[in-house]
Amino acid sequence: PTTEPPPPTVTPVASVRITRGGADVGAGPVTLEIGQSVDLVAVPLSASGTTLTRPVAWKSDATGIATVDPTSGRVTAVAVGTTLLTATSDTRSSTVPVAVQGPLTVAIEGPGAGTVTGTGVNCTGAGAPGCNASYAPGTAVTLTATPD
């Protein structure tokens, strides 16, 4: 009589880690501008932290704010607001918030020049030293100009 070999052991998914460019996104948020896209990767892990090869399904809680490809994890910002993305493998999930920002419009009146970027303010002209500054995304900044 022959005996059947035991079935292979399947290691269960214990957690799912979400990364962007190889770096763990942690609690997020992932910040994008309208129309911008980014690739997120969900990595299923065993209880010991070993990477598992398992399918992952993505979803967005608000597709009117940001969409996510259900298999690739490519996120596209649609409108200003925030949403939560979920990556699920087997019965385990991880989430990351996504904040979508709109374009910034700046009107310059009078003499002088400068630029407002996604991370700060750069000034040129008289009085520029001490004017340049960087800010974290989402920081509210009020610019006040006075005549020389």
| pLDDT one-digit tens code per residue, 126-143 | 555 555 556 666 666 666
- Identify which of 73, 81, 69, 71 has the alpha carbon closest to the alpha carbon of residue 32: 81
Contact 132, 123 (CB under 8 A): yes
pLDDT per residue as tens digits for the range 6-58: 888 889 999 999 999 889 998 889 999 899 999 999 999 999 999 999 999 99
Residue 81's Cα: distance from chain center in Å?
Answer: 13
Q: 85: how many CB neighbours lie within 10 A of its CB?
A: 26
Kindly tell me if the per-residue pLDDT of 109 is higher than 70. no
3-state secondary structure of 74: strand
* Mode of pairing for the β-strands spanning 92-101 and 113-116: unpaired
The whole-angstrom separation of Cα 24 and Cα 32 is 17
Q: What are phi and psi of 76, to 5 degrees?
A: -125, 125
pTM score, whole prediction: 0.69
Contact 57, 71 (CB under 8 A): yes
Which residue type, as a one-letter code, is found at position 60?
S
